[in-house]
Structure 1
Amino acid sequence: MESWRFLDTGVKRAHENIALDDSLLKARSEAESKAEAKDTFRLLRYSPPAALAGFHQSIELEIRESFCRENNIDINRRITGGGAILFDESQIGWEIIASRNLEFIPKKVDALYEMISKVGIIALKNFGIKACFRPRNDIEVNGRKISGTGGTLEGDAFLFQGTLLVDFDAETMLKALRIPTEKLKDKEIDSIKDRVTCLKWELGYTPEYDEIKEALLDGFTKVFKVQVEEGELTGIEKKLYRKAVREFSSEEWIYTTRRNPENRFNIYSAKKAEGGLIRLNLVVDIKSMKIHFAIISGDFFAFPKRTIFDLEARLKDHTLEIKQIEETINKFFDEYNPDILGIEAKDFVDVFSKATEKLSLLENGFTLEDVNRIYTVAGSYDKINNAEVLLLPYCSKAKECDLRYKNDCRKCGKCSVGKAYEMAEKLNLEPITIVNYEHLEETLSSLKKKGYNAFYGSCCESFYIKHYNDFERIGLKGILVDIENTTCYDLDRVNEAHKGKFKEQTELNLKLLEKLLLKKSKE
Structure 2
Amino acid sequence: MSTIATPDRASAWQAFDWQLVGTEPLQPLQHMALDEVLLDEVAAGRRPPTLRFWEWASPAVVLGIFQSVRNEVDEAAAQRHGVQIVRRISGGGAMFVEPGNTITYSIYAPKALVEGMSFKEAYAFMDEFALEALGEVGIRAWYQPLNDMTSDAGKIGGAAQARRGQAVLHHVTMAYDIDADKMLQILRIGREKLSDKGTTSAAKRVDPLRSQTGLERDVLISRMVDVFRRRAGLRPGVLSPRELALAEALIHEKFATDAWRGKVP
| Aligned partner (choices 21, 27, 36) of residue 41 of structure 2 | 27
CA 1:47 to 1:86, structure 2 compared with 1: closer, same or farther past 3 Å? same
Identity %: 27
Q: Does 1:6 align with 2:20?
A: yes
Distance 1:106 1:124 in 2: 27
What's the Cα RMSD here?
2.2
Whether 1:16 and 2:30 are equivalent positions in the alignment is yes
Q: Partner letter of residue 249 of structure 1?
A: A
Residue 146 (structure 1) aligns with? 156
- TM-score, length of structure 2 as denominator length: 0.85
* Aligned partner letter, 2:111: R
Q: CA deviation at 1:215?
A: 1.1
Contact preservation (8 Å) 1:13, 1:74: no
Query: Higher relative contact order at CA 8 Å, sep ≥6: structure 1 or structure 2?
Result: 2
Q: Which structure 2 residues correspond to residues 169-318 of structure 1 after superposition, within 5 A?
A: 169-179=179-189, 181-182=191-192, 184=195, 188-190=199-201, 192-203=202-213, 205=214, 207-222=215-230, 225-246=231-252, 247-258=254-265
Aligned residues: 247
- Quote how far apart the aligned CAs of 1:16 are: 0.8
Moved more, 174-183 or 108-117: 174-183
Q: 1:46 aligns to what SS in structure 2?
A: coil
Aligned residue number for residue 116 of structure 1: 126
Tell me how far apart the structure 1 counterparts of residues 242 and 212 of structure 2 sit (CA, whole Å): 42
Q: After the TM superposition, list the runs of 4 or more consecutive aligned residues in structure 1 that deviate by more than 6 angstroms.
A: none
State whether residues 17 and 48 of structure 2, in contact with CA within 8 Å, keep that contact through their aligned partners in structure 1: no
Q: Which runs of 5+ in 2 are unaligned?
A: 1-13
- Equivalent positions of 1:44-443 (< 5 A) are 44-89=54-99, 90-102=101-113, 107-142=117-152, 144-179=154-189, 181-182=191-192, 184=195, 188-190=199-201, 192-203=202-213, 205=214, 207-222=215-230, 225-246=231-252, 247-258=254-265
Residue 156 of structure 1 aligns with an amino acid whose one-letter code is Q
Say whether the 8 Å CA contact 1:170–1:189 is kept in structure 2: no
Alignment match, 1:264:
none
1:180 CA displacement: 5.6
Q: Is the alpha carbon distance of 1:106 and 1:93 closer, same or farther for their aligned partners in structure 2, counting shifts above 3 Å?
A: farther
Cα deviation digits, residues 193-228 of structure 1 (max 9, x gap): 22221112212x3x3343122111123234xx3211
Distance 1:230 1:106 in 2: 30
TM-score scaled by length of structure 1: 0.45
Structure 1 gaps of 5+ residues are: 259-523
Contact kept? 1:5, 1:230, Cα under 8 Å: yes
Contact 2:176 2:217 (C-alpha < 8 Å) held by counterparts: no
Give the structure with the higher percent helix: 2
What one-letter code is carried by the residue in structure 2 that aligns with 1:9? Answer: T
SS in 1 for 2:155: strand
Tell me the CA shift for residue 235 of structure 1.
Answer: 4.8
Looking at structure 1, the residues matched to 59 and 23 of structure 2 have their Cα atoms a distance apart, in angstroms, of 16
- Is the contact made by 2:141 and 2:151 (CA closer than 8 Å) also made in structure 1? yes
Match of 1:148, SS? strand
